[in-house]
């Protein structure tokens, strides 16, 4: 029915859910997807509320404005890749009315459906009619599908599944950047950036994502719902060996050259994409069916007890800084 879906996105938490819904639709229709990210104009940032944010909280300003484009692009591409959807990314600076820019981009790219979210900041009619989503609905010659609203996930189930999926996208996205960087001519490869990326991936798996997966599997086993998940468990056992091979190949580049490191990185990429795809389609779906809301709440308490919001924020900032460095190297 639809062949090309345009998905406008931004750096908000809502955007990740819009990416998921848009990719689900593209996969269902056998369509390709184009993600559109419009960065605010620099002068608008300086003149607007962001100027105060820059003065009062430079780190938060950087997270929201300076590191956003590479981070958003990587997550979108990774989610499409995990779901077997052909996708591209369109980045630009917003210089006019956003809904008109979305319509113009859809026409230029021959898209036949727009999938967008609504932040739902207010219920006042006059403010609602000022929103990009409603203006797009009223003015777009193409069908517009409002995939999500800005209501944050309320249940423990929604919150945890969103966190797992976000981390899956981040994991694949950073791995993709690593593989792309290693494909460059050897003199152009930033060795320090490679070292930092490998270090981050190792800590991400062992300290952040891995323990969450282990707790989720334990919750399913306790409820007698872990049957048929042997593939996931085998992948967990295999993951450290696969990553150690990548680290070793990178360390040996001085003697063996860069080719073995490239091959090991691509093998790691294939493994991680398959692993997170299985987790999304097997592990999370099984947990969704098997765990009660009370079970999700207990799992959330266990996870929150070992990973505080400040830790997640620091890891997210480090992740975004790595993407900013990759983006700077492409310039």
Q: For the segment 164-200, what is each residue's pLDDT rounded down to a tens digit?
A: 988 999 999 999 999 999 998 888 899 999 999 999 9
**Whether residue 144 sits in one domain with residue 199:** no
Q: How many H helices and E strands in the chain?
A: 17, 5
| CATH assignment at residue 167 | 1.20.120.520
Same domain flag for 160 and 111? no
pLDDT band at 62 (very low <50, low <70, confident <90, very high): low
**Does one domain contain both 145 and 160?**
no
Residue 132 predicted with pLDDT over 90: no
Are residues 51 and 116 located together in one domain of the fold? yes
Q: Where are the beta strands (DSSP E) in the chain?
A: 4-9, 32-40, 87-94, 113-118, 144-149
Same-domain status, 125 and 179: no
pLDDT over 70 at 68, yes or no = no
In angstroms, rounded to a whole number, what is the distance separating the alpha carbons of residues 265 and 141? 44
Beta pairing partners, 149: 118
Among residues 149, 177, 197, the one where a domain terminates is 149
Residue 207 reports pLDDT greater than 50: yes
Helix (H) or strand (E) holding 305: helix 293-306
pLDDT digits (tens, 9 = 90+) for 71-111: 778 889 999 998 999 999 988 777 778 889 999 999 999 99
Domain of residue 169, residue span: 156-330
Give strand ranges (E) for 137-285. Answer: 144-149
Average predicted confidence (pLDDT) for the chain:
84
Mark whether 125 and 170 lie in a shared domain. Answer: no
**Range scoring the smallest mean pLDDT among 33-47, 96-110, 228-242, 297-311:** 33-47
Give pLDDT, residue 124.
46
pLDDT tens digits along 141-156: 999 998 866 555 578 8
Q: How many domains does the chain have?
A: 2
Select from 149, 182, 201 the last residue of a domain: 149
């Amino acid at each position: 029915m639809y062949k090309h879906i345009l998905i406008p996105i931004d750096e908000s938490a809502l955007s990740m859910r819009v990416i998921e819904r848009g990719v689900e639709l593209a996969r269902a229709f056998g369509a390709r997807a184009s993600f559109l990210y419009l960065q605010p104009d620099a002068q608008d940032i300086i003149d607007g509320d962001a100027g105060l944010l820059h003065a009062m909280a430079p780190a938060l300003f950087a997270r929201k404005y300076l590191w956003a484009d590479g981070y958003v692009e990587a997550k979108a591409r990774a989610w499409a890749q995990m779901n077997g959807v052909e996708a591209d990314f369109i980045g630009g600076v917003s210089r006019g009315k956003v809904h008109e820019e979305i319509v113009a981009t859809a026409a230029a790219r021959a898209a036949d459906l727009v999938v967008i979210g609504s932040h739902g900041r207010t219920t006042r009619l006059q403010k609602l009619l000022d929103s990009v989503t409603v203006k797009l609905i009223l003015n777009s010659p193409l069908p517009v599908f409002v995939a999500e609203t800005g209501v944050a996930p309320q249940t423990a189930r929604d919150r945890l599944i969103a966190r797992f999926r976000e981390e899956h996208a981040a994991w694949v996205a950073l791995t993709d950047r690593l593989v792309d960087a290693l494909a460059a001519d050897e003199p152009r490869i930033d060795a320090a950036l490679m070292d930092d990326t490998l270090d981050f991936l190792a800590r991400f798996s062992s300290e952040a994502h891995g323990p969450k997966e282990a707790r989720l599997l334990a919750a399913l086993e306790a409820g007698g719902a872990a049957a048929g998940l042997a593939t996931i468990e085998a992948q967990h056992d295999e993951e450290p060996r696969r990553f150690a091979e990548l680290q070793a190949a990178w360390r040996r580049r001085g003697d063996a050259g860069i080719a073995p490191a490239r091959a090991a990185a691509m093998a790691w990429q294939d493994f991680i994409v398959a692993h997170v795809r299985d987790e999304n389609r097997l592990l999370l779906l099984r947990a969704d069916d098997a765990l009660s809301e009370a079970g999700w709440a207990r799992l959330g308490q266990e996870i929150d007890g070992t990973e505080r919001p400040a830790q997640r924020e620091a890891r997210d900032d480090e992740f975004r800084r790595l993407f900013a460095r990759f983006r700077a190297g492409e310039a």
